[in-house]
A and B are shown apart, each in its own frame.
Chain A
Amino acid sequence: MILLGPLGVALAVFVAAIGAALFVRLSGDLPRRPVPTTPERTPFAGGETPAVHAWNRYHARYYVMALVFLAFDMEMVFMYPWAVVFVREGGIAFVEMGMFITVLLLGVLYAWRERAFNWA
């Protein structure tokens, strides 16, 4: 971990926090308790029992927005290094990213017109 430097430390913190949370949860299960009965395991629906399992092929109606997000997520990847060299590169970096963003924003306008951000 030391070899990885600060990233290694970050990783160590991540793993330790997950480990600690899992440990706390597991130690809470000691001593072992009797298995809960079926009615005790009913998912909550205001006192009624469900007719089917809750897991289903869920209609995530925001799927068009999710596609638009993909385009912007790629843009973010470019913007990280861009932010670092921006002051050094000056105007040219400004114009280049400006063009890229303009195209994306036009995409947002189109998506808006096509009601991609409304579903209910």
Chain B
Amino acid sequence: MRDYASPGVAIVAVGAILVAGVYVLAVLDRLLGMIVAGTSIRLGALLAEPVQSGALLVLQERRTTERPDAAGWALAPALFGGLAAVALAMVPLDRDIVAADPATGFVVFSAAIAMVMIAIYLHGWSPNSAFALHGAYRYGAQALSFQIPFLLAMLATALPAESLSIVDIVDAQKSVWNVVREPAGLPLYLVVGVAVSFWGPLNLPDAADLAGGTVVEDSGLDRLLWKGARAAMLVAVAAMGAAVFLGGWWGPWLPGPAWVVLKTVALLVVLLASGHLLARVRIEQFVFVSWVLLIPLALLNVFVSGALLL
């Protein structure tokens, strides 16, 4: 029987980590933005701003549009947040600190990633608004393109563990981390990780050229929940990357959970920096590169790392 916490503890712990993660992400993103912009950094304002802006959105009323799909509009951010929570619940903080470690943890995580497409499509469809609808269909093309390389990049880490359990995958990295075993894996994972939570250069469904895309009609709590869920998904992607590529809890001196947090923050910085340093990619180009470059590369990664194991 695999390890798991009691449901109540798991819900509270995952919820707390998610909220803390979203806050840290908001601060980091703003900090990186200020560094790139060259503005002077005031620590107090930097730390307070996410809370203040969040409170502002809570107080703002929700907008609605002419004849929207109201149920879908309510459900989309909730579903997105739920998927981010499940994805994060699969990440172990230490060998015996994990919300849930099913034998198929890997499959649960990838299922959550795959279902993100439904949440985003629903979010773009519901308001009955042209820009939002375009964002939704764009993400369709984006999701169909990144899912295969995403899974392949992660799958290579299951080979040495001979298991689909995330705890086993981390455990198998005691002597050598997967980032060394399969050097192409982490960069591939990060590229598609940015695509999953449509951040920075791959923010195509909520892009500036669509005046906000799927989120264009949202205000108040709708906007807060959507932005929160999106940030939560990026946190989950970074945490999973830290677990399956950077050896999770393995590391000298510090206790295991500290290493997981440190590695997650390091990956978050890389993911967020891409948003300030790389221009928006054209959707057609991303589809092309995904199929013609990323998928063959990911397959090569699987087979080379597999051959080295034999």
Contacts and interface: CB of A to CB of B under 8 A. Distances in A.
Mutual binders A and B: yes
Interface of A: 1-2, 5-10, 12-22, 24-25, 28-29, 33, 36, 38, 40-46, 50, 53-56, 58, 60, 62, 65-66, 68-69, 72-73, 76, 79-80, 83-88, 90-91, 94, 98, 101, 105, 108, 111-112, 117-120
B162 A88 contact: yes
Interface string B125-137: 1011111110001
B58 interface: yes
B5 A9 contact: yes
For the residues of A in contact with B, the DSSP-based class is helix
Interface string B97-115: 0011110111110000000
Contact of B85 (A13, A25, A33, A94): A13
Contact of B141 (A28, A62, A105): A62
B162 A9 contact: no
Contacts of B284: 117-120
A60 to B, nearest CB: 6
B81 A10 contact: no
7 contacts: A6-B3, A10-B89, A13-B85, A20-B81, A41-B64, A69-B148, A108-B295
Nearest to A75: B148
B4 A6 contact: yes
Given A13-B7, A25-B222, 17 more contacts: A13-B11, A17-B82, A18-B79, A22-B74, A24-B221, A38-B66, A40-B63, A45-B131, A66-B140, A72-B148, A76-B148, A79-B152, A79-B302, A80-B104, A84-B158, A105-B296, A108-B291
Contact of B15 (A20, A25, A73, A101): A20
Interface in B276-310: 284, 287-288, 291-292, 295-296, 299, 302-303, 306-307, 309-310
Q: How large is the interface on B (under 10, 10 to 19, 20 to 34, 35 or more residues)?
A: 35 or more
A117 B66 contact: no
Q: Point out which of A42, A62, A68 has the most chain B C-beta atoms below 10 A from its C-beta.
A: A62
B65 to A, nearest CB: 5
Interface string B246-258: 0000000000000
A54 B151 contact: no
A79 B229 contact: no
Contact of B129 (A44, A72, A85): A44
Interface string B142-183: 001101100110010011101110000000000000000000
B24 to A, nearest CB: 18
B231 interface: no
A6 B10 CA distance: 10
B20 interface: no
B159 A21 contact: no
Interface in B7-58: 7, 10-11, 14-15, 18, 58
B89 A54 contact: no
Enumerate the 5 nearest inter-chain pairs by beta-carbon distance, A residue then B residue, closest first.
A43-B129, A21-B78, A17-B85, A6-B4, A12-B7
A41 B63 CA distance: 7
Contacts of A54: 128-130, 132-133
A17 B232 CA distance: 11
Given A91-B310, A94-B307, A108-B291, A12 B107 contact: no
